[in-house]
């Protein structure tokens, strides 16, 4: 077993050595060699376990336990390697490096060049399949149903589901982990990332709140800083985005690809902030939307809420539209000319507008019977403090 634990330590050292590998950098031959090293480690670990079992050094129960640990380590590598990097709005991608610190053994490696014998113990070559990865994930889920207090296990399961693109299940697993480890900043950042992916790749609302909690606990958490900057970028608060990303720079090697990409993002956000400050501020509407207590229980928290403005006198076409989830209500809203649905059809082009909010049961933009709705009286196109109440049912 000495060799087994030595190999585990080697694997951990390999992951740490790669902890600042940039998400966007292309590593041709070096990447291939590292992948081969990782695969070899797993193969040797499993071979050592099987040899100990055959020699009588391990009882079958001990062998099975060690196999499960090895499988968990494989999942950890798979989990950590396929995080999606948020793409802020705009033509030029802001390379935020949310996945700074990803180990090299990605899911794609195992699907492309993996060795099933290293995982399954079966002789022969071949590739590890997606189905085999799924089996390991489900085996972990089954173990957690029997041992639900294992916070680390829930974190691993959340990462596994996220890698497989099963973001709803990832959110559930992360929520269970967060209940057991509420002050784990990295967990909260991963939770926020999965929640954003499950909600249409938007960090606004609860995902951003999780990120800010993570930063209260660990102000120097790289992923939380990156996500906080991305959330600010999404809502066009470019100065705040630049500030968060600037705080990442002391945490990475000064001449690394990570640092270069972060500096580019900071410069881009500062440029956009400067342009915004120099430009005339767009006319817009500000207010709060809420649901009447009388309609409590008549909607699902996941229902889509459309908030839109149209001309009080003119075509019924919306001038600006904002989308939220019912669970986010009450919520502040802002509608302005940047959200125009068609050239020339802007809020500022009309002296008075009507603001409407509708809970869509179908998720579609067209009102349907059973939807919940509320509208303001005609207000000025630059009105502030609008109190918009959803208080009626569409018939």
Local confidence band at 86 (pLDDT 50, 70, 90 cut-offs): very low
Query: Tens digit of pLDDT for each residue in 153-185?
Result: 999 899 988 888 899 999 999 999 999 999 999
Number of Cβ within 10 Å of residue 59's Cβ equals: 11
- Tokens 């939307």 sit at which residue? 289
Closest CA to 339 of 359, 325, 353, 329: 353
- Residue whose C-alpha is closest to residue 339's, from 330, 348, 351: 348
Q: State pLDDT tens for residues 316-368.
A: 889 989 999 999 999 999 998 888 777 678 898 889 999 999 999 888 888 89
Assess whether pLDDT exceeds 80 at residue 300: yes
Q: Establish if 346 belongs to a structural domain.
A: yes
> Out of 4-18, 26-40, 240-254, 255-269, which region has the weakest mean confidence (pLDDT)?
4-18
The Cα 32–Cα 46 span in angstroms is: 22
Show Cβ contacts of residue 369 under 8 Å, excluding neighbours closer than 6 positions: 394, 395
- With respect to residue 277, please indicate whether it lies within any of the assigned structural domains: no
Per DSSP bridges, beta strands 379-380 and 352-360 are: antiparallel
Q: Which residues contact 121 (CB under 8 A, 6 or more apart)?
A: 46, 50, 67
H-state helical runs in 55-84: 60-80
Mean pLDDT check: name the lowest of 53-57, 135-139, 189-193, 226-230: 53-57
User: Per-residue pLDDT for 121 more than 50?
Assistant: no
Distance CA 83, CA 109 (A): 15
User: For residue 187, what pLDDT is reported?
Assistant: 96
Query: What's the total number of domains in the chain?
Result: 2
pLDDT for 26 equals 35
For 143-206, give the DSSP string: HHHHSTT-HHHHHHHHHHHHHTT-HHHHHHHHHHHHHH-TT-HHHHHHHHHHHHHHTTS--TTH
Task: Count CB neighbours of 275 within 10 A.
Answer: 10
| Distance, CA of 350 to CA of 264 (rounded, Å) | 39
Residue 32 lies in a domain: yes
250 within domain boundaries: no
Q: Each residue of 242-298: pLDDT tens digit?
A: 999 999 999 988 888 888 889 889 988 998 888 766 655 556 899 999 999 999 888
* Domain-terminating residue out of 128, 143, 177: 128
Within-domain flag for 185: no
- Residue 105 is part of which domain span? 1-89+100-128
Of 76, 109, 128, the residue that ends a domain is 128
Domain presence at residue 351 = yes
Q: How far is the C-alpha of 388 from the C-alpha of 287, rounded, in Å?
A: 7
Q: Answer whether residue 307 is part of any domain.
A: yes
- Paired residues of 372 in beta bridges: 359, 393
Please, which pLDDT band fits residue 55 given cuts at 50, 70 and 90? confident
Least confident of 8-17, 60-69, 260-269, 361-370: 8-17
Helices 185-198 and 222-234, packing angle to 10 deg: 40
Contacts of 166 by beta carbon, 8 Å cutoff, 6+ apart: none
Q: Is residue 336 part of a domain?
A: yes
Pairing mode of beta strands 304-311, 284-291: unpaired
pLDDT category, 42, cuts 50, 70, 90? low
């Amino acid at each position: 077993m000495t060799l087994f634990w030595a190999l585990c330590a080697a694997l951990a050292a390999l992951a740490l050595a790669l902890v600042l590998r940039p998400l966007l950098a292309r590593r041709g031959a070096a990447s291939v060699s590292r992948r081969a090293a990782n695969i070899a480690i797993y193969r040797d670990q499993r071979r050592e376990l099987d040899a100990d079992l055959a020699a009588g050094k391990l009882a079958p129960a001990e062998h099975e336990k060690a196999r499960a640990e090895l499988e968990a380590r494989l999942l950890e590598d798979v989990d950590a390697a396929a995080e999606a990097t948020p793409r802020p709005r705009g033509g030029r991608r802001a390379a935020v490096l949310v996945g700074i610190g990803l180990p090299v053994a990605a899911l794609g490696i195992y699907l492309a060049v993996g060795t099933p014998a290293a995982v399954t113990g079966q002789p022969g070559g071949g590739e590890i399949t997606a189905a085999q990865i799924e089996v390991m994930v489900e085996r972990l889920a089954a173990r957690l149903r029997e041992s639900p207090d294992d916070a680390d296990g829930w974190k691993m399961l959340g990462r596994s589901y996220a890698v497989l693109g099963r973001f709803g299940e990832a959110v559930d697993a992360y929520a269970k982990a967060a209940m057991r480890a509420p002050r784990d900043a990295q967990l909260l950042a991963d939770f926020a990332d999965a929640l954003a992916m499950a909600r249409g790749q938007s960090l606004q609302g609860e995902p951003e709140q999780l990120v800010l909690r993570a930063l209260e606990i660990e102000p120097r958490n790289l992923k939380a800083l990156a996500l906080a900057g991305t959330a600010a970028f999404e809502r066009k608060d470019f100065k705040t985005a630049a500030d968060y990303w600037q705080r990442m720079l002391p945490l990475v090697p000064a001449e690394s690809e990570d640092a270069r990409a972060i500096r580019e993002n900071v410069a881009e956000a500062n440029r956009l902030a400067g342009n915004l400050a120099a430009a005339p501020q767009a006319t817009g509407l500000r207010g709060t939307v809420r649901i009447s207590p009388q309609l409590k229980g008549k909607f699902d928290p996941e229902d889509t809420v459309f908030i839109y403005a149209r001309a009080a006198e003119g075509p019924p076409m919306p001038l600006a539209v904002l989308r939220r989830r019912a669970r986010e209500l009450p919520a502040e809203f802002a509608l302005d000319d940047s959200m125009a649905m068609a050239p020339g059809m802007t809020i500022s082009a009309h002296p008075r507008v009507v603001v409407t909010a509708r809970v869509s049961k179908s998720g579609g933009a067209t009102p349907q019977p059973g939807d919940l709705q509320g509208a303001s009286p005609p207000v000025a196109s630059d009105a502030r403090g609008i109190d918009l109440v959803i208080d009626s049912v569409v018939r």
